Structure 1
Amino acid sequence: MNHQRRDTLKAGGGLGVLGLLAAAGMIKPEMANAAWNQTAFEAKNMDAAFAAFSAGKPAESADVVITAPDIAENGAVVPVGVVSKLPKTEQIVIMIEKNPNMVAATFNLPEGTVADVQTRVKMGQTSDVYAMVKADGKFYMAKKEVKVTLGGCGG
C-alpha cells in the first residue's frame, strides 16, 4: 500500500494539501469547476451523457476493455477498471446506465500516460457499465453488464 498519500494528508494538519493551497489563495474553486461537466452529470439517458462529451454515440471498440465483476454482491463498492489500447488516449469516462447520475468517474490523462485506470463505483441496481475513451480526438466505447445483488445507492 502506498503510504505517501496518507503521510501527505497528515502533514497538512487535517486540511490536506489542497486545503492549504486554497487557504493560501494559490488555487480557487473555479479551477476545480473548470473540469466539471455539469451537462454530462445531469444527463437523464445514455445518449445525452454521450452527447455531453462527444458529438454522439461513440463507436464500439475492442481496444477499450472493462474489468468488472459479472456479479457484484455489494453495489456500494463495485471495482471497475478500464484499459485503453488506443494510441494517444486523452480521457476515460466510466458511466453507469441505471444510476441516478450516470457519470461515475472521469479521468483526464496527460500525454504519455498508460491508459489504465481502476476505481470503485456505486451501483444502485443491475446495469450496463460503459467506458468511453477519447483517443486522438475521437471517441470510442465498450460496455459490460454487471449484476448487483445488493444495491449501493440507498437500496
Structure 2
Amino acid sequence: MILSLNKIFYLIKDIFNILIKNIFINYFKFSGRTSRKEYLIYCISYLIIDYFLQRKLPFLWYFIYIIYIFIPSLSIAFRRLHDFNFSGIVILCAIIFVIAVTMFFDNYDIKFINDRLTTYFIYTLFISLDVVPGLIPGNSGSNKYGEPPE
C-alpha cells in the first residue's frame, strides 16, 4: 500500500515538474528535442485542464488562457517534431491549412458540410499531429536539432 502511494506521489510530482518546465521555463524554447513521455504528459494534462476550464471559466478568461497556453503548446510540438528530424514549420502549415479550409466552407455557407467536415478534419489533424508523435519513438541518435532527450 505504501509503495503504491509512493509511486503515485512521484508520478504526480513528475507531471507537475514537466508542466512547470514547459509552461514557464521553456515558454519560448523552440529549439532542441522533447521526449515522448514529456510530450504525452503535456498533451494529456492540457486536454484535462482545458476540458474543465472551458466549462467553468467565463469566455473572456478562457480566451486569455488559450492565448497564454498557445505559445508553450506550439514550442513543445516544435521540439517533438525535431525529435523526428522534422522542421516545426509543419505545424504552422497545418494550422494555416485548417484556417483556410474553415474559411472556404464558411464563405460558401454550406452548413452541413461545414459542421461535419470541419469537425472531422480538425479531429483527424489533432490525432495525427498530437497523438501519433507521442506514441512513436523519435530518432535514437543525435540529429540536426541536437542530442536525444533523456
TM-score by length of 2: 0.24
Which has the larger share of helix? 2
Judging by fraction of residues, say which structure has more strand: 1
